[in-house]
Amino acid sequence: MKDFDFNQYYQNNEVDLSWLIKPSQHGFRWRCSDGSWRKSKRRVSSIDSFRKAIGKDNPSDIYFSTSSWLEPIDLPNLNHETKPHPILINHLIVFDIDFAPLSLENLERARLTTLNLHKWIQKNYHYELISISFSGSKGFHLFYNDPDRSLFSIENSKDRETAVKENRKKLLQEVLLAGFKVDPRITADTRRIIRLPGSIHGKTGLLCHRINVERLGENIESWIDDVPSFFGNLEIPKVAKAIPKKVNQASKKVTKEIVKSFVEQTYMVEVSNHLPGTKDRTSLIFWTPYSWGIGEECLDRLENLVKSKNLADSYIFSDGERILFICPEAFTRAKIVKVLHKIGMEKLSKTLAARKHYWVRISGIMSEDGNWHNEPRFICTIKGRNSKQNHSRAHLTLLSKLGLDIDISRYEQVAGNTEPGTRMVVRD
C-alpha cells in the first residue's frame, strides 16, 4: 500500500459523485498514505475540482460528509462560540453495516443484514433509496433521502441541527431494537464522514463502489471476485478466524473486567423502566448479577421471585454472561423499590427511589472496532398470573421490538403510552 500511487490513480480514474445532488455542499476529507489527514479547502463539484482539491496528496482513503451545508469549508465545531452556527441544508440517512474480521462468511452476513434492513426501511418508512455501496472491506453502506423537509425549515440553525440529530437518533434506536447490527456512530451524527464510492479502500485495495439492489440480493461469492483489487489478488478467507479466549470463562467477574478494559468506548441502547404517560408507574426490568450465573440456579431464583411476588408473565433473555429479566406489569414505584431491595439490588433500588426511574441495556454492545457482542437473546417465559392485572403498554411494545409475538389487544388493562423511553449511550 505504501508504494501504491493513489494520486496517479485518481488523476486517471473518476470517483463517483454522480448520485450526490450537490457535491459542492458536502465536505471532503482524506487520509494520506503516510497516515496524515487532509480536508478539502475548496468546494468539490466535479471530477476536475476533486483532482484539484487533493493536489499532490497521496490519499489512501477518501471520505465525504453525510451532511450538506451552505458553507461546507472549515465548518466551526459544535462548541464554537465566536463563529455563527453553520447552516445544515440536508442530512443523508446513512447505515454502515460491517462484520469483522474480513471473511466471506462475515461479508455474507453483512450482505443479508443490509438487504433485510433495506426491506425493513421500505416497509416502515417513506425514505428514498439513493445509493448502496460495497465499502471495499467488511460490509456495505445504505444511503437514503428523507423527502420530509420540515426539520430543515427550522429557522434557527443550531436548533435545526439539534432537531435533525434527535430525529436520526430515534431512527437509529428503532433500527437497533429491530435487531439490525449497524454502526451506531454513523446514522445520528450530522458531522460524520463516510467512504466515497469510486475510491480505493486503503487497507484491502478493493474498490468502494455503488451496487444496485439486484446485486445486493446475490450471494457474495457470486460477485466478490469481480471487484477490482489494486494491491494484487486479495485472498479473503472463507471463515473468520476465531479470537482465542484469554480468560477462564468460568470466572464471570474476571470476564466483566476484561470487557471493561478491552475497549475505550462502547455503544448500546438502553430503556427506561418508567411507564411514559404515567406519574408513578414502573415495570420491573433488570440484569441479574454475574454471581447468579445463567444456569438453573439463576432461573430458579427468578421463578421464585415471580411466584413469591405474584408477578405477571415475565420474559427471560441472556447475553451469555447474565440474564435480562423483563416483567411488563405496571407497578407503583414504591413497590419496585422494595422488590429490588429484597433481592439484593441495592444500587438499582436507591436509583429508582431517588430518580424515579433507571435505565437498562436492551441491545448488544458495540466496541470501537465495530464488533458487536453480548447480544440479549430470548430464552424462555416464566409464567405468572393471568393477564387481568395492569400491564405497561410501552414495555409490551418493547418485547415486540425484541422479537416476541406480543398481542397487546389481548391484555384487559394497559397503562401509559405506546413507545418506551429509550436512549443511545456511549460508555467509557
| pTM for this predicted structure | 0.84
Long-range contacts for 295-301 (Cβ within 8 Å, ≥24 apart)? 298/323, 299/323, 299/380, 299/382, 301/343
Reduced to 3 states (helix: H, G, I; strand: E, B; else coil), residue 221 is helix
- Contact criterion met (CB below 8 Å) for 422 and 272: yes
414-415 and 391-392 beta bridge pairing: parallel
209-211 and 128-134 beta bridge pairing: antiparallel
The confidence score (pLDDT) of residue 254 equals 46
Residue 159 CA, distance from chain mean position: 24
What CATH class has 6-226?
alpha beta
- Contact criterion met (CB below 8 Å) for 307 and 385: no
The confidence score (pLDDT) of residue 242 equals 58
Reduced to 3 states (helix: H, G, I; strand: E, B; else coil), residue 81 is coil
- Every domain of the chain and the residues it spans: 6-226, 266-427
Please identify which residue in the block is written with the cell numbers 421463578: 303
Written as one letter, the residue type at 98 is: D
The confidence score (pLDDT) of residue 258 equals 41
Closest CA to 104 of 63, 138, 154: 138
Rounded Cα distance between 66 and 226, Å, is 28
Q: Within 13 Å, how many C-alpha atoms sit on residue 352's CB side? A: 28
Q: pLDDT tens per residue, the chain (428 residues)?
A: 558 999 999 999 999 999 999 999 999 999 999 999 999 999 999 999 999 999 999 999 999 999 999 999 999 877 777 889 999 999 999 999 999 899 999 999 999 999 999 999 999 999 999 999 999 999 999 999 999 999 999 999 999 999 999 999 999 999 999 989 999 999 999 999 999 999 999 999 999 999 999 999 999 999 999 999 999 888 999 997 755 544 445 444 544 544 444 446 899 999 999 999 999 999 999 999 999 999 999 999 999 999 999 999 999 999 999 999 999 999 999 999 999 999 999 999 999 999 999 999 999 999 877 788 999 999 999 998 765 679 999 999 999 999 999 999 888 899 999 999 999 898 87
